[in-house]
Amino acid sequence: MTAPKIILPDYPTEIQADPRELPFDREQLLRFYSAMRLARTFEEKLAALYRQGRIFGAVYLGMGQEATSVGSISLLEKGDLFSTVSRNLSAWFYRGVEPGHVFARWFGKDQPPGNGRELGLFLADLDGVGIAPYHNGSMASWIPSGAGYALAFKMRGQPNIYMAFTGDGATSPGDFYEGLNFASIQKLPLVIICEANQFAYSTPCDKQMPVANVADRAPAFNIYAETAFGNDLFTVMAAARRAVEHARQGHGPALVEFKTFRQRGHGEHDDCGYVSSELRAFWEQRDPLVMYRRWLIERAEIPAADIELIEEMAVARVEAGVEYADGLPFPKPETVTERLFAPSPHDPKPEDRANIFEPIDNPAIPALTAAQDRSSGGHF
């Protein structure tokens, strides 16, 4: 059992950007931070609840990938749609999702839109925060979905883009290829944000793909692609912006691969025995939240007190969220069969069965059935 060979890149441990060259005011800078911080605090709480046996089923966390999520999602404009995978809670929060609602879903409570039917890990909210109802079961199934949403924009002449977050392992299934191939042929505004956290569950990239980077696959699709460091918030924004603009300008799909790291296991049950201490140490020095916090204080000269205030608020919102979720009722068992089919204009009415005698009075039929034995087919 050999550990996967690792090439450690020379990513800096400090955010490089010069605050004066950034278009963001203090408030905006803190908005980035509070989304990242809220997600981290939320997940720490969720992990604790899981260990206390208070969560049904498994728990998957995105700690360590907050910069990739927030940096990318911050580029969306009105009418854009996106889908997330297991590790993008900070993107939800940046878009305004309520922590309490997320806890409620994790607790299996009667919280829309899932009302207890889906895991807390997933969310669809087209009209609200813009999360499309994608297929979150099978890996990469959301790439064809992304092509479909992008196709819808194109057909309607909307200036919007679709942003599909995806893991690096999720670039192996055929759906990744079929979806991206179709999107490129049709030149659709699909932006793929690949969170290359270097493992798919326990499987390292060199068992997942024969190329060093997901972006190396781009020539096969004739699309714009690049690879960037995913834990520096502003590096993420810059790279994601290039991709988003490419797609929004009608040049077709774009893919950005962000090298990042999953600080926790695949799920909280996973002890990560397959991750070398060397690799873990490298990325611990590059915790996106720590890097950004330090940058805010040291480079952007934001008073530590203001940041601590945000952190306290995060804790407060998470605690309030748990309380809210605890207070909600479970869905009623008798509702389990509801909402399977959407009402439709021509759903059968009692009178439809009034006169159902519709004889097949067709002399051709004996000939027809006889013909079967003679049919030469071949008309396709």
Partner 1 sequence: MSQMTYLQAISSALREEMRRDPNVFILGEDIAVFGGAFKITQGFLDEFGPARVIDTPISESGFVGAACAAATVGFRPVVEFQFIDFIACAFDQIVNYAAKCYYRWGVPVPIVFRGPTGGGIHAGPYHSQNPEAWFAHTPGLKVVLPSTAKDAKGLLTTAIRDNNPVVYLENKFLYRHYREEVPDDEYVVPIGVAALRTVGRDLSIISYGAAVHLCVEVARTLEREGASIEVVDLRSLAPLDRETILESVRKTNRALVVHEANLTAGFGAEVAAIIAEEAFDHLDAPVARVASLDVPVPFSPPLEMAMLPSVDKIAQAARRLLAY
Ligand X SMILES: Cc1ncc(C[n+]2csc(CCOP(=O)(O)OP(=O)(O)O)c2C)c(N)n1
Within 134-163, the residues that bind ligand X by CB under 6 A are 138-139
Is residue 173 at the binding interface for ligand X, with CB under 6 A as the rule? yes
Tell the smallest beta-carbon distance from residue 322 to partner 1 (Å): 17
Q: Which helix (H) or strand (E) holds 258?
A: strand 254-259
CA distance 190 to 37: 28
Is residue 200 at the binding interface for partner 1, with CB under 8 A as the rule? yes
Where b means 16+ CB within 10 Å and e means fewer, 172-185 reads beebbbebbbbbbe
**CB 285, CB 254: distance < 8 Å:** no
List 66, 168, 175, 232, residue binding a second copy (CB under 8 A):
175
Is residue 211 at the binding interface for a second copy, with CB under 8 A as the rule? yes
Tell the smallest beta-carbon distance from residue 86 to a second copy (Å): 13
x-or-dash string of contact with ligand X, 246-285, rule CB under 6 A: ----------------x---x-------------------
| 121 or 325: CB nearest ligand X | 121
Q: Residue 147 — φ and ψ, nearest 5°?
A: -60, -40
Tell the smallest beta-carbon distance from residue 59 to a second copy (Å): 7
Where b means 16+ CB within 10 Å and e means fewer, 351-360 reads eeeeeeeeee
Collapse the DSSP code of 27 into the 3-class scheme (helix H, G, I; strand E, B; otherwise coil) and give the result.
helix
Strand order in the sheet with 162-167: 81-83, 162-167, 190-196, 254-259, 224-229
| 30 or 139: CB nearest partner 1 | 139
Is residue 53 at the binding interface for partner 1, with CB under 8 A as the rule? no
Q: Residue 360 — φ and ψ, nearest 5°?
A: -95, 95
Is residue 220 at the binding interface for partner 1, with CB under 8 A as the rule? no
Q: Which helix (H) or strand (E) holds 98?
A: none
Our measurement of the distance from residue 315's CA atom to the centroid of its chain's CA atoms, rounded to an integer in Å, reads 24
Is residue 43 at the binding interface for ligand X, with CB under 6 A as the rule? no
Query: What residues does 81 pair with on adjacent strands?
Result: 162
| 270 or 319: CB nearest a second copy | 270
Is residue 113 at the binding interface for partner 1, with CB under 8 A as the rule? yes
Residues 249-278 contacting a second copy, CB under 8 A: 252, 267-269
Tell the smallest beta-carbon distance from residue 54 to partner 1 (Å): 12
Is residue 330 at the binding interface for a second copy, with CB under 8 A as the rule? no
Is residue 194 at the binding interface for partner 1, with CB under 8 A as the rule? no
- Of 6-14, 20-28, 204-212, 287-295, which part binds partner 1 (CB under 8 A)? 204-212
Q: Minimal CA–CA distance to 105: which of 329, 338, 325, 332?
A: 325
Residue 309 interacting entry, from Mg ion, partner 1, ligand X, none, C-beta within 5 to 8 Å by type: none
Is residue 170 at the binding interface for partner 1, with CB under 8 A as the rule? yes
Q: Where are the beta strands (DSSP E) in 25-105?
A: 81-83
**CB 196, CB 213: distance < 8 Å:** yes
**CB 93, CB 293: distance < 8 Å:** no
| 115 or 202: CB nearest Mg ion | 202
| 87 or 109: CB nearest ligand X | 87
Residue 228 interacting entry, from Mg ion, a second copy, ligand X, none, C-beta within 5 to 8 Å by type: none
Q: Minimal CA–CA distance to 166: which of 176, 158, 157?
A: 176
Residue 149 CB neighbours (<10 A): 25
Residues lying near a second copy in the complex (CB under 8 A) are found at: 50, 53, 55-59, 172-178, 181, 184-185, 206-211, 216-223, 252, 267-269, 376-380
